[in-house]
Chain A
Amino acid sequence: MSSLLKLSQVEAYIQQFHILHDIDFEVPKGEVTVLLGRNGAGKTTTLRTIMGLNPVSNGSVVYKDEDISNLKPHLIANKGIGYVPEDQGVFEDLTVGENLRVAMKREDQETTERLEWILDLFPDLKKFWKKPGGQLSGGQKQMLAIARAYVNENDLLLIDEPSKGLAPIVVEKVMETILQMKEKTTILLVEQNFLMASKIGDRFYIIDDGQTVHNGLMGELKEDKALMKKYLGVS
């Protein structure tokens, strides 16, 4: 198993609060790795720490055999990591087209093809191309955030709770898209919706109180009802 990203004994604080105590996991290339855990367990902080938005106080974050701990966020992004934050981070005054244009590092053939591919998956974005991001529905914002992260040639996408607050039909659409993206890129997904996570994910890590406490293949987790109940509240 060749891992694209590896976190070893990562610790992180938000102000004086010790949020991540001991995060250890690997993201294998070409797979979808899912971070599971209850609210407040430290999943979002883990993604933010990988992106350099929270400092690593101890441990290391290694991407493609290079230690990227505490690099500036733009340098981390330029190494080929795309990020879809929990709140989607859509630029509200910019139109859909402008949101995508800000993200596009190049405007070459390859980027255009990627853009067209993702727009075919999310036709709403084409339809509302000139609409300000702030006027989109929650689902459309999520589509825009995913498209924005995908439009550049990133080898790894960090996606934080893409199903949060969305109607079931939109969740289906987002899930289908992530499944198709899985063919083209490696994904690290934070997801509370276990049904979605289990359909998309290849392997999982459970984070509890800032520590990775369990990991394995997603198929194994589905069978382990006791573990799911203990850490995820799923019965």
Chain B
Amino acid sequence: MDLIASLTVNGLATGMLIFLLAAGLTLIFGLMSVLNFAHGGLFIWGAYTGVWIYYVTNSFLLAIIVAIITGLVLGLITERLIIKPVYGNHIQQILITLGFMLVLQELIKVVFGPDVKAVSPPAWLEGSFQLGDVTLIKYRLFIIVIGFLLFFTIYLILKKTRIGLIVRAGVMNREMVQTLGINIRFVFMAVFMVGAALAALSGVLHAPYSGVIYAEMGLEFSILAFIVVVIGGMGSFTGSLFAAILVGLAQAFMAYYVPALSLAVNMLIMTVVLIFRPQGLFKVKG
């Protein structure tokens, strides 16, 4: 029982981190039809700037805020300078965002140094507690709570506010949205910045979870996020949550029971989904 609960908490925490990264990616793809391979770069920049602030101030809360601001600013720069010239051309988007991903990765080494950095959770999130027979690690629960809170917040914004309706409408038919007097380019930019902020938040939350950060982890995580977006359905926000949890749990359980398959399991799930439901688990209607 303890083992199952531990693996479930592990899987959910990993799933939530992937979800935060994938949520931005899926919104950006859904609304703007942009394949942003630089998303992982925003993830590492969030991790490094957050951890740097955490080292300096010892405040994890401040680290989170700085990471989010970093994400917003980098998101703005990426959208204006990198993405804007290649709207509508997927090949160019893949090439330029992959290139920018590498630039962001190498800049991390220039600014923060090439060494792996160790990070531990803040004192108030360290350790574990007992729930019956089950031992629960505080920091993992914290990630799960933050992940669900963010999911429900964004879900409510998308469902209940006019801004959210505009974003959803833009995913379905951006031309029509423009003819209703809405500046879809501005909406694109705002969504891109929010997506980037989510990636950066995912990065800083991931740091104490994994215990170390390194420049290359952005690429590794962004591949996972792309797998999640494909499984969940390109452009589906809810789909990305379900897919991220599925991938997180599959990875956690496989890593324990069949370690050799722990990396392959994500590809396996994606392959099965693509064969039986090519549009992903949740289809966004165009």
Residues of chain B from 149 to 197 with CB closer than 8 A to chain A in the complex: 162, 165-166, 168-169, 172-173, 175-184
The contact sample of 19 A-B pairs, CB cut-off 8 A, is A53-B179, A74-B179, A74-B181, A74-B183, A74-B184, A77-B178, A77-B181, A83-B179, A89-B175, A91-B169, A92-B172, A92-B286, A93-B172, A101-B162, A101-B165, A102-B165, A102-B166, A104-B162, A148-B180
- CB–CB B181/A91 < 8 A: no
What 20 new A-B contacts, CB under 8 Å, besides A53-B179, A101-B162, A104-B162? Answer: A53-B178, A74-B179, A74-B181, A77-B179, A77-B180, A83-B179, A89-B179, A91-B172, A92-B172, A92-B285, A93-B284, A93-B285, A94-B165, A94-B168, A98-B165, A99-B169, A101-B165, A102-B162, A102-B177, A103-B180
Chain A neighbourhood of B172, CB < 8 A: 91-94
Q: How many pairs, one residue from A and one from B, have CB atoms within 8 Å of each other in the complex?
A: 62
Q: Does A39 contact B (CB under 8 A)?
A: no
- Which single residue of chain A is at the shortest CB-CB distance from B179? A83
Bound state CA distance, A152 and B181, in angstroms?
10
What is the distance, in angstroms, from B218's C-beta to the closest C-beta of chain A? 32
Chain B neighbourhood of A72, CB < 8 A: 178, 183
What is the distance, in angstroms, from A134's C-beta to the closest C-beta of chain B? 6
Q: Which of B169, B175, B177 has the most A CB atoms < 10 Å from its CB? A: B169
Bound state CA distance, A118 and B244, in angstroms?
44
Residues of chain A from 44 to 95 with CB closer than 8 A to chain B in the complex: 51-53, 72-74, 77-78, 83, 85, 89, 91-94
- Whether A105 touches B173, Cβ cut-off 8 Å, given contacts A91-B168, A93-B285, is no
Chain A neighbourhood of B183, CB < 8 A: 72, 74
Chain A neighbourhood of B162, CB < 8 A: 101-102, 104
- CB–CB A91/B179 < 8 A: no
List residues of B whose CB falls within 8 A of some A CB.
162, 165-166, 168-169, 172-173, 175-184, 284-286
Interface size class of A (residues with CB under 8 A): 20 to 34
List residues of A whose CB falls within 8 A of some B CB.
51-53, 72-74, 77-78, 83, 85, 89, 91-94, 98-99, 101-105, 134, 148, 152
Bound state CA distance, A52 and B162, in angstroms?
24
Chain A neighbourhood of B286, CB < 8 A: 92
- Whether A105 touches B181, Cβ cut-off 8 Å, given contacts A94-B169, A94-B172, is yes
What is the distance, in angstroms, from B168's C-beta to the closest C-beta of chain A? 6
- The 3 A-B pairs of least Cβ separation, nearest first, read A89-B176, A77-B181, A73-B178
Bound state CA distance, A52 and B166, in angstroms?
20
Bound state CA distance, A160 and B245, in angstroms?
45
Chain B neighbourhood of A77, CB < 8 A: 178-181
Chain A neighbourhood of B285, CB < 8 A: 92-93, 134
Chain A neighbourhood of B175, CB < 8 A: 53, 73, 89
- Which single residue of chain B is at the shortest CB-CB distance from A93? B285
Bound state CA distance, A102 and B164, in angstroms?
9
What is the distance, in angstroms, from A217's C-beta to the closest C-beta of chain B? 30
Bound state CA distance, A91 and B285, in angstroms?
9
Chain B neighbourhood of A99, CB < 8 A: 169
Chain A neighbourhood of B177, CB < 8 A: 102
What is the distance, in angstroms, from B39's C-beta to the closest C-beta of chain A? 24
Chain A neighbourhood of B178, CB < 8 A: 52-53, 72-74, 77
- Which single residue of chain B is at the shortest CB-CB distance from A73? B178
What is the distance, in angstroms, from A95's C-beta to the closest C-beta of chain B? 10
Chain B neighbourhood of A51, CB < 8 A: 179
